[in-house]
Amino acid sequence: MYEIPKKKMGWASCVQLQCSTCGWIHDFYTSANSPAAYDVSIRLVYAMKYTEQGYAGARKFCGLMNIPGVATKNNFHEISRRLITKVFKVAEDSMITACKELYADD
């Protein structure tokens, strides 16, 4: 079992399993993937936004934790943009649900 550095996607690593007897090979990523990005990348961007750190904070965090392969600034901001869109949608849906509950009591 070993990591394939060329296939690293942001903070998600690609790990390859290989059977030494029959040569069977299986690659997998260390994080689930969604249409927006790998979960680990979304979570890091969310944490950095929530703590008001931004891209510079992500670079500092990864440096301190000795995590290589920090996403590019463009990738960070693209994930951030998609995340904000989802957060607004969740907030809006939550407010609509709250209003419906409030007026349902009348």
* Close Cβ partners of 76 (under 8 Å, ≥ 6 residues apart): 45, 48, 55, 58
Part of the chain binding Zn ion (CB under 5 A), chosen from 17-25, 74-82, 86-94, 97-105:
17-25
Question: Shortest Cβ distance from residue 17 to Zn ion (Å)?
Answer: 10
Determine if 19 is a binding residue for Zn ion (CB under 5 A): yes
Question: Shortest Cβ distance from residue 18 to Zn ion (Å)?
Answer: 9
Q: Are 13 and 3 in contact (CB under 8 A)?
A: yes
Site mask, Zn ion, residues 23-62, x = CB under 5 A? -x--------------------------------------
Question: Shortest Cβ distance from residue 27 to Zn ion (Å)?
Answer: 15
User: What does the binding site for Zn ion look like in residue numbers (CB under 5 A)?
Assistant: 19, 21-22, 24
